[in-house]
Amino acid sequence: MACRLRFAPLLAAMFLAGGCGEPPVPKTPPAARSVIDMAGNQVAIPARVGRIACLEVLCYEKLFLLGASDRIAMMIRTNAPWMRQTNPAVDGIQQLASNPNTEELLKQRVDVVFRTYGYPDPVKIDTLARMGVPVLVSQTMGTDKIDSIEAFVESRKRMLRLFGRVLGPEYEARAEEWCAYHDRMVAMVRSRTDRIPEEKKVRLFHVRGPSATRTHGLSSHTFWYGVIAGADMVVKQHSFVGQGEVSIEEILKWDPQVINIGRMYSAELVTGNPRWAQVTAVRTGQVHELPEGVFYWDGSTEGVLLMLYLAKELYPQLFPDLDLRQEFRDYYARFYRYHLSERELDLMLAGKGPDGLRRNDMNN
């Protein structure tokens, strides 16, 4: 019986398994096209991408937003609180606890792999490329410093647009719809917060966890959405751009007026530690447990909701017309095709999951 070819990944899998005689000459997939990934690489991909490996944590949420989560063959495991509630089918996707082996990727016959810098390892990436599996970097580099609001906003849109281009015109249109919404919300917030004098801005510290002194740096969602919302992000006095640790001595010196706790960790990380007792935010009861969603707000497209939340939290007098409840409801209906109930809105705004609890079981 003659061997059949699907595309280069299947050819490679047959070759690894012994195939049926000498491997046939690979055929160029019809109407193959190329895209430029977040690292500036030009990558050839099939005309239609049907099966996707999400080897970076932001991939699932973006594909879900675009209406293509059913194409995910495997994904990095996460415990974001509203992921399964909004899409129970996610349990049918192979969950990865670590770097998958090359043979597993070939067995799954994926058409493209989305990855971040350094994951999977370079040797594995080279192996996949030789076997004809397109691999795209779909996050900004963790060491790249974003130096302006405009650069930050553009990087968010570039990431989603990459997924749209890979999926095709219908999905590109959905990505553009989100980009237009994002631009509109940023412009609305900035029209009010840009007028706040520097000396009047609220000092804000974001706890990423799992420790109270672990935070995000100068290229992060939490930093730039905070800046847009008018916060004085005290971590600006540090140089790291990704996530990192600061000292309690630095916290005491910065004396934040508001502390937000992300990733479903408890406010007790701060309030339960006597060393934080003299920080203004602790003394005045301004330590808050942030909501989270389909993915954590420090990385997902829901960062736009983080921006709105921060604007209302820090400057309610500037945003009397901003109804967070309505914004959450509209966002989920419009972009996730999920209609939050009143109880679900109550829980989300309170920083809890669908089960009414706040926890991070994976400690990530």
Q: What is the pLDDT of residues 102-118, one digit of tens each?
A: 888 888 899 999 998 76
Task: Please tell me whether residues 199 and 81 are part of one structural domain.
Answer: no
If asked whether residues 214 and 309 sit together in one domain, one would say yes
135/174 same-domain check: no
- On whether residue 364 sits in a domain, the answer given is no
Are 178 and 111 in a shared domain? Answer: no
Residue 56 domain boundaries: 8-139
Q: Provide the pLDDT for residue 101.
A: 78
Q: Are 306 and 221 in contact (CB under 8 A)?
A: yes
User: Are both 122 and 197 inside the same structural domain?
Assistant: no
In a domain, 221, yes or no: yes
**First vs last Cα of the chain: how many Å apart?**
50
Cα 355–chain centre separation: 23
- Claim to verify: residue 187 and residue 328 sit in the same structural domain: yes
133 and 188 inside one domain: no
Asked whether residue 153 is domain-assigned, the answer is: no
What's the CATH code of the domain at 63? 3.40.50.1980
Q: CA 13, CA 106: separation in Å to the nearest integer?
A: 6
Residue 126 lies in a domain: yes
In a domain, 183, yes or no: yes
- Whole-number pLDDT of residue 119: 66
CA neighbor of 50 nearest in space, from 70, 77, 25: 70
CA distance 97 to 335: 28
41 and 119 housed in the same domain: yes
Residue 103 lies in a domain: yes
Q: Is 50 exposed, middle or buried (0-12, 13-18, 19+ CB in 10 A)?
A: middle
Number of domains in the chain: 2
Rounded to the nearest 5 degrees, what angle is found at the Cα of 334, between the Cα atoms of 358 and 348? 15
Q: What is the pLDDT of residues 265-300, one digit of tens each?
A: 999 999 999 999 999 999 999 999 999 999 999 999
